[in-house]
Structure 1
Amino acid sequence: MVATYLLPVQTALVLFPLVALVLMIPAAVVGYRRRGRAGGRTAVVFYAFVFYLLAIAMQTIVPLPDGSAYCTEPTYASSPQLRPFNFLDVIAQRGHGHFGPVALLHNPAVWTTALNVVMLVPLGVFLRYAARMRFLPAVLVAFGVSLFFELTQLTGLWFVYPCPYRLFSVDDLILNTAGGAVGWLAAGPLSKVLPELDAERDRRRYAAKVTVPRRLFALVTDLVAFTVLMAFVFGLLTLFGESLEHRRTLILVLGLVWFVLVPTLTGSTLGKRAMLLRVRRTNGRRAGPVSLAVRNGILLSPLWLLWLLMNLDWNVAAHPEQLLVPAGLLVSVLVVVVWSPLAILLDDEHRAPYERLTGTVNTAIVPEPAPRERVPEESRA
């Protein structure tokens, strides 16, 4: 029995790094826009909650049945259990009518019932503690989550399998929803000992800071979004039967638009805008196209030199100058990957070499705080 419940947790542990990687950029965007930072207590709570959701989802799905042969004969899950509070009869049957403390502790039906309640207790805690949700909406969310899981079981993993392989039970809906309600109630006293999640306090403290993680998230966002854009454009061209013979020129044009033209006009690339950053000259004026081209050309040099290295028609005997490409790649890695982070961390002005060369600097875009509503004089009396 223990192994049955541990398998979903083990599966969640395997899948969690991949899920966290997918969610990292969206979570960072929300974090920097709401709180001025991507880390901190809120991030810990968020990723813990993601792991919890993944674990209870795996609890619903795994173990999977062995092939389609599973559905050739009726099983315990073939017919849904629609009788409310049937778990009381199951407990009585499994305990052979004994309800003493020792008998209940050794009754597997009691543990199954308790686990169905406990399953959504953390959800209720999160909805009150982190989402600031009221009781009734939180209970409805818990019911909705439980219903989704039960329908997943009833439909055979949403028709992946031709029959249900886990039992749909009304009792699970009742017990899961009760667990969500218990979690919401428990969050009241727990919130007095748990750290406070104050987004406004974080925003006041961190929104104006241009940190290394913030810059890195902006760069990664740009690279991911630019890759998606290229895949979309090339996909459209392929779909309409266009030749990709001039794909290098197209990549160059898209790169100039993304990393030079757009920030020249708006002050930010898409990634920097997502993290509320902009590039300015040290005198506070907007950076021009030349400085942006040099800045981003150096910053992205390891990538475009690697791309050039992989696409050259190598003939060193006839063109010894081709050796400049790997040499340049090595230098670019030293400048961008080694020198620049050290300069940002250790330099008083936190500026990378390519920023000093181009006279540019990252600055934070600090949104104006939402105005507080004024309380009428009559309501103060």
Structure 2
Amino acid sequence: MLTFYLFPISYAIATFPIAAVLFTLPFLLFQYRKHGYINKYRAFLLYLFLLYMMNALYLVILPLPASIHNEPPQAASYVQLVPFHFVLDILKETAVDPQQPATYLHLLKERAFLQVVFNVLLTVPFGIFLRYYFRVRWAACLLLSFSLALFFEITQVTGLYGIYDYPYRLFDIDDLLTNTTGGMAGFVAAAWISAVLPRMDKLDEHVDFSAKRVTYTRRGLAFMMDWFLALPLLTFLTALDFPYPFVSMVLVYFMVIPYATNGFTAGKWIVRIRLQGKGKRIRLSELLIRYGLLYLLLGGLHVLMLPIGSSSLPNVAKALCTVGLFVTDMTLGIHLLRCVFNRSRRLFYEAKSGTRHVIHWDEENKSRVQA
């Protein structure tokens, strides 16, 4: 029976890296917006919760039938609606004799009893996470534990929501009861755990956001979101035959808007960072130098390669332009790596413009999060 449980657990561990990659982007965005930074302990717990939920789901749905055109269950009904029917199953199968205490250990080897224990233990971590990390009250834990158990049972009785022709496991009300009980047992256990582990509502109490460095990961997220919005603007300007659409887009999105908002673009606002110049308010000249070097000069070189590639220039000239652009990109890549691994170094367009990223956070936001 142990092998039966180890099989889905091994699959959960094997596929966890894929789920973790998909989870990372929304995780980073949410953490930057809600907390202003990434706390390693909080991140560890959330990824641990993800791994637990994957294990719980795999334990419920695996092993799968060999074909989606599976045979119907041999049971007369797809549902078992008699509460505490597991008691009869245990009594029917057990070798325990109430008059002989030495036989009590047989329960630890019997399928019906172990099935009940498994169903309770399955959701104990869920209740622990709900109380310790998410700080829910007992009524919410009860409702969420029941909802999770109901999700498991519906997933089974629908054959993974119609993927399989027939259910390959039954809907059992006893599973609802035992899974919900496990969640509430975890809620009770979390009271002790909370006493020995760091309190979640105190993690950000002594964080000095003015001293925190804006990581390249955070800047990269802002960069991706800004260009996700800037590219449609560029496409729109190009479709309208607007003169110099790329230059116009850069001027509007990366210079005019940050000047009007004192250092914000949409991407920077989402991850709670902004540009800061030498004074309290960023100057237009600082933005012109920063984004002029980064986008108009370096970006413009890439934009110019498009008409050059389809022009009537000699092939030698096109090859020289391509090699020159490649060398420029390689130099920029090496420069970026040196800045990433040496925190004292600054990107060339930041050094020339006198601008830098700072975390946009204030005491009002901090008090709201801790409340």
User: Could you tell me which residue of structure 2 aligns to residue 273 of structure 1?
Assistant: 269
User: Could you tell me which residue of structure 2 aligns to residue 92 of structure 1?
Assistant: 91
Tell me, yes or no, if the aligned pair for 1:139 and 1:177 is still in contact at 8 Å.
yes
The answer to whether the aligner puts 1:364 opposite 2:359 as a matched pair is: yes
**Mind listing any 5+ residue stretches in structure 1 that lack a counterpart?**
238-242, 374-381
Specify whether residues 167 and 280 from structure 1 end up closer, same or farther in structure 2 by C-alpha distance, changes over 3 A only: same
User: Could you tell me which residue of structure 1 aligns to residue 213 of structure 2?
Assistant: 211
Report the Cα offset of residue 231 of structure 1: 8.2
Tell me, yes or no, if the aligned pair for 1:210 and 1:362 is still in contact at 8 Å.
no
Specify whether residues 366 and 105 from structure 1 end up closer, same or farther in structure 2 by C-alpha distance, changes over 3 A only: same
User: Could you tell me which residue of structure 1 aligns to residue 48 of structure 2?
Assistant: 48
Tell me, yes or no, if the aligned pair for 1:294 and 1:358 is still in contact at 8 Å.
no
- Alpha-carbon displacement from aligned partner over 1:42-63 (angstroms, at most 9, x marks no partner): 1111111111112112222222
User: Could you tell me which residue of structure 2 aligns to residue 175 of structure 1?
Assistant: 178
Tell me, yes or no, if the aligned pair for 2:149 and 2:179 is still in contact at 8 Å.
yes
TM-score normalized with structure 1 length: 0.80
User: Could you tell me which residue of structure 1 aligns to residue 227 of structure 2?
Assistant: 226
Which residue of the other structure, out of 347, 352, 359, is the alignment partner of 1:352?
A: 347
2-structure distance, mates of 1:297, 1:362: 17
**Mind listing any 5+ residue stretches in structure 2 that lack a counterpart?**
none
Report the Cα offset of residue 146 of structure 1: 0.7
2-structure distance, mates of 1:164, 1:107: 25
User: Could you tell me which residue of structure 2 aligns to residue 15 of structure 1?
Assistant: 15
Specify whether residues 265 and 143 from structure 1 end up closer, same or farther in structure 2 by C-alpha distance, changes over 3 A only: same
2-structure distance, mates of 1:169, 1:232: 54
Q: Compare 326-335 and 251-260 and name the one that shifted more.
A: 251-260
Specify whether residues 371 and 36 from structure 1 end up closer, same or farther in structure 2 by C-alpha distance, changes over 3 A only: closer
1-structure distance, mates of 2:13, 2:302: 34
Specify whether residues 227 and 33 from structure 1 end up closer, same or farther in structure 2 by C-alpha distance, changes over 3 A only: closer
Specify whether residues 152 and 305 from structure 1 end up closer, same or farther in structure 2 by C-alpha distance, changes over 3 A only: farther
What code does the residue aligned with 1:361 have? R
2-structure distance, mates of 1:93, 1:306: 76
2-structure distance, mates of 1:272, 1:138: 36
Report the Cα offset of residue 124 of structure 1: 0.8
The answer to whether the aligner puts 1:294 opposite 2:292 as a matched pair is: yes
Kindly tell me the number of residue pairs found equivalent between the two proteins.
Answer: 354
Specify whether residues 221 and 155 from structure 1 end up closer, same or farther in structure 2 by C-alpha distance, changes over 3 A only: farther
What code does the residue aligned with 2:351 have? R
User: Could you tell me which residue of structure 1 aligns to residue 81 of structure 2?
Assistant: 82
User: Could you tell me which residue of structure 1 aligns to residue 38 of structure 2?
Assistant: 38
Tell me, yes or no, if the aligned pair for 1:308 and 1:325 is still in contact at 8 Å.
no
Tell me, yes or no, if the aligned pair for 2:226 and 2:265 is still in contact at 8 Å.
no
2-structure distance, mates of 1:306, 1:59: 51
1-structure distance, mates of 2:121, 2:359: 43
What code does the residue aligned with 2:39 have? G
Tell me, yes or no, if the aligned pair for 2:95 and 2:106 is still in contact at 8 Å.
no
2-structure distance, mates of 1:304, 1:10: 50
Tell me, yes or no, if the aligned pair for 1:295 and 1:355 is still in contact at 8 Å.
no
Tell me, yes or no, if the aligned pair for 1:35 and 1:203 is still in contact at 8 Å.
no
What's the RMSD between the two structures over aligned residues? 3.5
Aligned identity (percent) is 28
Specify whether residues 187 and 74 from structure 1 end up closer, same or farther in structure 2 by C-alpha distance, changes over 3 A only: closer
2-structure distance, mates of 1:16, 1:346: 36
Task: Report the secondary structure of 2:119's partner residue.
Answer: helix
- Alpha-carbon displacement from aligned partner over 1:272-327 (angstroms, at most 9, x marks no partner): 212211102122322424134136439x95x8878887997396424333321111
Tell me, yes or no, if the aligned pair for 1:120 and 1:176 is still in contact at 8 Å.
yes
The answer to whether the aligner puts 1:264 opposite 2:259 as a matched pair is: yes
2-structure distance, mates of 1:41, 1:123: 18
- Alpha-carbon displacement from aligned partner over 1:45-88 (angstroms, at most 9, x marks no partner): 111111111211222222221213313x4334951111111111
2-structure distance, mates of 1:229, 1:3: 53
- Alpha-carbon displacement from aligned partner over 1:71-120 (angstroms, at most 9, x marks no partner): 3x433495111111111111222225646322101112221111100111
What code does the residue aligned with 1:290 have? L
Task: Report the secondary structure of 2:358's partner residue.
Answer: strand
Task: Report the secondary structure of 1:198's partner residue.
Answer: helix
The answer to whether the aligner puts 1:325 opposite 2:333 as a matched pair is: no
What code does the residue aligned with 1:264 have? Y
User: Could you tell me which residue of structure 2 aligns to residue 138 of structure 1?
Assistant: 141
2-structure distance, mates of 1:255, 1:21: 31
User: Could you tell me which residue of structure 2 aligns to residue 378 of structure 1?
Assistant: none
1-structure distance, mates of 2:36, 2:8: 35
Specify whether residues 148 and 77 from structure 1 end up closer, same or farther in structure 2 by C-alpha distance, changes over 3 A only: farther
